[in-house]
Chains A and B, each alone.
Chain A
Amino acid sequence: MKMRLTAAALAACMAAGPALADLVFPDLSYRTGPYAAGGIPFSDGYRDYFTLVNERDGGIGGVKARVIECETGYNTEKGVECYEATKGEGALVYQPLSTGITYQLIPKVSADEIPLHTMGYGRTSAKNGEVFKWVFNYPANYWDAASVAIKYLLDENGGDLSGKDITLLYHNSAYGKEPIRTLENLAEKHGYNFSTIAVDHPGQEQKSQWLQIRRERPDYVIMWGWGVMNQVAIQEAANVRFPMENFIGNWWAGAEHDVTPAGDAADGYKALNMNRIADYPVFDDIQEHVVDAGLAAGDGSNVGKVLYTRGMYAAMLAVEAAKTAQEIHGTADITPAMMRDGMEALEMTEARMEELGMPGIGPEFSVSCSNHGGSGGGIVQQWDAAAGEWKPLTDYIQPDQEVIQPLIEEDSMAFAQENDISLRCNES
C-alpha cells in the first residue's frame, strides 16, 4: 500500500506542468476552513490583479505573470507543503496571509533566498531590513496598528487616556499575541489600564470572554481577530450591549463579512485599515478585462470589498516591485534575488498610484535597506449598517515610532543573535 501510493504520488508530481519562462507569483490562499471568509476575497483580489496586468498590459514589462494557487487552509503544515511544492517553479515572492505560516517561512526563505512579503501581518520586527534581508512587511505592521489605535483613542479623549480601561481581545496565536508588548509599553506611557482576553482557535465560542467584558466594563475593547472569530465577537458585543463605537478591530477585523452577520447591531463598529477603500477606476478595468472576460478568480462578487481591495493592493505592490527590479537589472526575466532588490528600492508615490487607477489607495512610502516596513500609517473606519459600507473617519495616522522602534530593534537584534546574522546595511 505504502509503496504503491508513493509511486503514484511520484507520478503525480512528475506530471505537474513544466516551468515556463514567466514570472511566478505563488498565492498561498485559503478558501476552506474557518478563515476562508477572509482568505477568499483577498486571494480573488490578488489573482485578479495579475490577470488584469496580463490581459490589459500584456504582462509585467512584457513578461506574463503566472499565479500558482495553493490551498493552505490557514494551516502551517499545509503552508509548508505549498511552499516546498511551489518554490521550485521560480517563485518570486511569497505572501502567505498567515502569521503562523510566516514564522515557518522566515527561516526557509532566508535559506532559499526568496523574498517574503507580509503586508500588515507576520513578524513585526522584520521591518528591520538590517537583520531580515529577505522579509518585507511594508506598508505597515501590527505594532503600527496597535499604536494607531491608541493614538486614535488619545485623539478621541483629548490626548489623555490615563485611568481608562482598555482590553485587548485577541486570537490566541502568534498573530493575536503580537501587539501585546506594544500595548503594554504604550500603557506605561499613556497611563491607561491594559488587560488581555484570549480567544482560542477558531473562535466560534466567546460567551465567557464577553461575559468577562460585560462584568469588567472596559472603556474600550481592541480586537485582534481573524476569520470566524470576528463575526462571533461582533455578534457577542451586540448581545452584551457593548457600545459599538468603543469597539475597535485591527485591519484584519474590519471587512464587510465580519459585520453583516450582526445586522443593524453592528452599526458604529470601528476598525483600522491600511488601505483606503473607494470606487477606484481600476475596478472598472478589472470588471472589463477580468470579470466580464470570465477570467475572475472567484465569482466576481467580491470586487471592491475591503479584503479584495487589500489583496489587489498586495498584488499591485508586487507588480510595482517587479517593475522596479526590471529597471534596476535591465532584464525583463527577473530572478527572486532581483525581485528582492526591486522590493528594497520600491517607492510608492501619490502620482504613481493615480497612474495605476487607484489614487490614494495606500500611504506614500519608500523602502530602504534598513527599513523594510514602510511608513506604518493606518486609518480608522466605521461601519454604517444602514448604508452597508465602511466610512473612513480619519486620514492616515502615523504610529508612535518612539515606542515601536526600540521594540523592533530589541526583537530583531535578539533574532540576529540567535541566528548569528550580521547587520548588512552599513557594509557596502
Chain B
Amino acid sequence: MLYREAGDFKTSYIADSQTFPIRFDRWRYYAVLAVAFGIVPFVINDYWANAVLLPFLIYAIAAIGLNILTGYCGQVSLGTGGFMAVGAYACYKLMTAFPDVSIIIHLVLAGGITAAVGVLFGLPSLRIKGFYLAVATLAAQFFLVWLFNRVPWFYNYSASGQITAPERTVLGVAVTGPEAPAWAAYLLCLVFVTVLALVARNLTRGKQGRQWMAIRDMDIAAEIIGVNPLAAKLSAFAVSSFFIGIAGALFFAVYLGAVEVGEAYGIQKSFLVLFMIIIGGLGSIFGSFAGAAFLVLLPVFLKNVLVGGLGWPSDLAAHLEFMIVGGLIIFFLVAEPHGLAQLWRLAKEKLRLWPFPY
C-alpha cells in the first residue's frame, strides 16, 4: 500500500528516470530533508551534535566515498584512514596559509588534493586485484600516517605534532573552533552530505557508474564491450578519494578541532569505514548512511543505556559494547549478507504489496 506504483504515471523521460520514481518514496525523502534542515538545527544541543550527528554525517560521507570505490567499482581499499588524513592536513595547510579564503572552498580543495593522492595510490589497481590491492592500499594507509607524523611542515612545526583548526566563519557564523554553535557545524556538514550524496547517487546511476559496475562484475568482459579500465578505475579512485578527503577535512576541522594523525586517522578508521559499507550494503548510497548510523549510533546508544540507564560500571559497559556490536555485525552478515540496504529493499517490496500479498 505504501510504496505503490499504481496510479503514479510518468509522462516524460525525466520523470521516469528520477532518483525516487515512487511517489511515496519521494515524499519520504523530502520529509527527511525537511526535518534535517528545518527542525533539527533548532533543537540540537552540543551533546547531540558532537556525540551523534556530526560523526554520523561525516562518516556517511566517508562511507559513500568508499562505497563508490569498493561497492560500485569493486576495488577493495584499506587506505581510507590515510586518505582522510590527506584531506585533514590539506585543509589545515590551506586554512592556515590562506586565512581569508572561505572554509567551504578549502574543504572542496582538500577533497581535490585527496583525489589526486588517491589516483596516485590507485595506479597499482591497474595491475593487481582483490586481496593484493587491499595490501597495496594498506601500504598507502601506513605511508600517509607516517608521512604526516614525520614531516613537520605538515603540522606547521608545532611542538606537539598536533594540528588545530583555527576559527573560520561561513556567512559570519563560526563553523570551526570552540565558539562554533552546534547548529552551524551541523548545518555545514549536512549541506556537504546532501550535495555529495546527490552527486554520488547521480554519478552511480549514469554512464560513469555503469562503467564502474561493469569493471566490478567482470573487468575483462567490460574491457571487451568498450569500457576503458584505466579511466574507470582511476576515476573511481579519484571520486572516492574526493569524498573521503572531504570527510577527513570535516572530521578534523568541524568535528574534533584538533587531531593527532596516528590516533584519529589510523588503521582502525579504515576498518571502521569498511565495516560501515559492508554492514550497510555494498553498492548502495542508502547503505552507506545505514552503515554509518549503525556503527556511530549503536555504541553511543549502548553506552547510554548500560551506564546512564542501568548504572553499570563503565568498563563493563565498554567491554559489553564490543561484544554486542561484534555479535550484531556477525548476526547481520549471516542473516543478510547484502547488508542493511538489502533489508530496506526487501521491506519496500513487502510494503508495496501490503496488505494484499500474493
Residues on A with beta carbons closer than 8 Å to the beta carbon of B179:
111
Partner of A77, one of B164, B256, B343: B256
A257 CB within 8 Å of chain B: no
A162 within 8 Å of B by Cβ?
no
Q: In A192-224, which residues have CB < 8 Å from any B CB? A: 198, 200-201
A241 at the interface (CB under 8 A from B): no
Q: Verify B47–A2 contact, CB threshold 8 A.
A: no
Q: Which residues of A contact B303 (CB under 8 A)?
A: 71
Instruction: Give Cα A99–Cα B297 distance, bound, in whole angstroms.
Output: 26
Q: B345 in the interface, Cβ–Cβ < 8 Å?
A: no
- Asked whether any CB of chain B lies closer than 8 Å to the CB of A227, the reply is no
Chain B's closest residue to A107 (CB) is: B178
B51 at the interface (CB under 8 A from A): yes
Using a Cβ–Cβ cut-off of 8 Å, how many residues does chain A contribute to the interface with B? 51
Interface presence of A172 (CB below 8 A) = yes
Collect the chain A residues with CB atoms within 8 Å of residue B169's CB. Answer: none
Q: B303-319: which residues lie under 8 A (CB-CB) from chain A?
A: 303-305, 307-309, 313-315, 317-319
Encode contact with A along B250-281: 1 for CB under 8 Å, 0 otherwise: 00000011111011101000000000000000
Q: Judging by beta carbons under 8 Å apart, are A180 and B289 in contact?
A: no
| Nearest CB on A from B336, distance (A) | 12
Q: Tell me if B160 is interfacial: C-beta within 8 Å of chain A.
A: yes
**B166 contacts the other chain (Cβ, under 8 Å)?**
yes
Complex CA distance for A1 and B289, rounded to whole angstroms: 10
Q: Is the CB of B309 within 8 A of A31?
A: no
Known: A107-B178, A178-B159. A1 touches B340 (CB 8 A): yes
**Main SS at interface, chain A:** helix
Kindly provide the distance from the CB of B321 to the nearest chain A CB, expressed in whole angstroms.
9
In the complex, whether A354 has a CB less than 8 A from a CB of chain B is no
CA distance A10 to B20 in the complex (A): 29
Question: Which residues does chain B contribute within 8 Å of A387, judged by CB atoms?
Answer: none
Taking CB atoms, residues of chain B closer than 8 Å to A108 are 178, 257
Interface size bucket, B side?
A: 35 or more
| Shortest distance from the beta carbon of A38 to any chain B beta carbon, whole Å | 14
The answer to whether A5 and B314 have CB atoms under 8 Å apart is no
* Residues of B close to A17: CB separation below 8 A: 308
Contact A174 B160 (CB under 8 A): yes
* C-alpha spacing A111/B258, complex, angstroms: 15
A70: interface (CB < 8 Å): yes
Interchain nearest-CB distance for B300 vs A (Å): 6
Tell me whether B304 and A100 are in contact (CB under 8 A): no
Q: Is the CB of B304 within 8 A of A76?
A: no
Q: Is B162 an interface residue (CB 8 A)?
A: yes
Cβ–Cβ contact A2 & B315, under 8 A: no
- A123 pairs with B160, CB closer than 8 A: yes
Residues of B within 8 A of A100 (CB): 162, 260, 263
Q: Which of A1-15 contact B (CB under 8 A)?
A: 1-2, 5-6, 8-9, 12-13, 15
Bound form: Cα–Cα A397–B305 in Å: 48
Rounded to whole angstroms, the CA-CA distance of A75 and B318 in the bound complex is 13
Say yes or no: B304 contacts A12, CB within 8 Å. yes
Q: What separation, in Å, do the CA atoms of A418 and B95 have in the docked complex?
A: 12
Quote the shortest CB–CB distance from B24 to chain A (angstroms).
16
Chain A: CB-nearest residue to B145: A200
Taking CB atoms, residues of chain A closer than 8 Å to B313 are 31, 69
Query: Is B79 at the interface (CB under 8 A from chain A)?
Result: no
B37 CB within 8 Å of chain A: no
A159-201 toward B: CB 8 Å interface, digit per residue (1/0)? 0000000000000111001101100000000000000001011
A69-B304 in contact (CB<8A): no
The 8 A CB mask of B40-76 against A (1 = contact, 0 = none) is 0000001100111001000000000000000000000
Question: Is B111's beta carbon under 8 Å from chain A?
Answer: no
| Residues of the B chain whose Cβ atoms lie less than 8 Å from the Cβ of A31 | 313-315, 318
Looking at the assembled complex, report how far the CB atom of A415 sits from the nearest CB atom of chain B, in whole angstroms.
9
A71 to chain B, nearest CB (A): 4
Contact A15 B262 (CB under 8 A): no
CA distance A178 to B158 in the complex (A): 10
With contact pairs A15-B308, A172-B149 given, residues A107 and B317 touching in the complex (Cβ less than 8 Å): no
- A13: chain B residues at CB < 8 Å are 47, 304, 308
**Chain B residues closer than 8 Å to A406, beta-carbon distance:** none
CA distance A70 to B290 in the complex (A): 27
When C-beta atoms are compared, the residue in chain A nearest to B56 turns out to be A2
A364 and B50 alpha carbons, distance in the complex (Å): 40
- Quick check: is A386 within 8 A (CB to CB) of the other chain? no
B293: A residues at CB distance < 8 A: 1-2, 5
Interface stretch of the complex, out of A57-65, A80-88, A258-266, A337-345: A80-88
Quick check: is B177 within 8 A (CB to CB) of the other chain? yes
By the criterion CB–CB under 8 Å, are B160 and A76 in contact?
Answer: no
Q: What residues of A have a CB within 8 angstroms of the CB of B307 in the complex?
A: 69-71
Contact across chains for B256 and A80 when beta carbons are under 8 A apart: yes
Query: Does A20 lie at the interface of the complex (its beta carbon under 8 Å from any beta carbon of B)?
Result: no
Known: A1-B294, A110-B178, A201-B266. A103 touches B300 (CB 8 A): no
Is there contact, CB below 8 Å, between A104 and B257?
yes
A275 within 8 A of B: no
The reply on B161 being an interface residue by CB < 8 A is yes
Of all chain A residues, the one with the shortest Cβ separation from B268 is A75
What chain B residues lie within 8 Å of A87 (beta carbons)?
A: 46
List, in ascending order, chain A residues with CB within 8 A of B55's CB.
Answer: 77
28 sampled A-B residue pairs with Cβ under 8 A: A1-B343, A2-B290, A2-B297, A5-B297, A6-B52, A9-B52, A9-B297, A9-B304, A12-B304, A13-B47, A31-B315, A36-B315, A71-B317, A73-B318, A76-B256, A76-B260, A76-B264, A81-B300, A85-B51, A100-B260, A103-B160, A108-B178, A111-B179, A174-B161, A174-B260, A178-B160, A198-B149, A419-B167
A-B pairs, top 6 by smallest CB distance, nearest first, are A31-B315, A107-B178, A174-B160, A12-B304, A111-B178, A71-B314
Q: Besides A13-B304, A100-B260, A107-B178, 16 other CB < 8 A contacts?
A: A9-B301, A31-B318, A36-B315, A73-B318, A76-B264, A77-B256, A85-B47, A99-B160, A103-B162, A103-B260, A107-B164, A123-B160, A174-B161, A174-B260, A181-B159, A418-B166
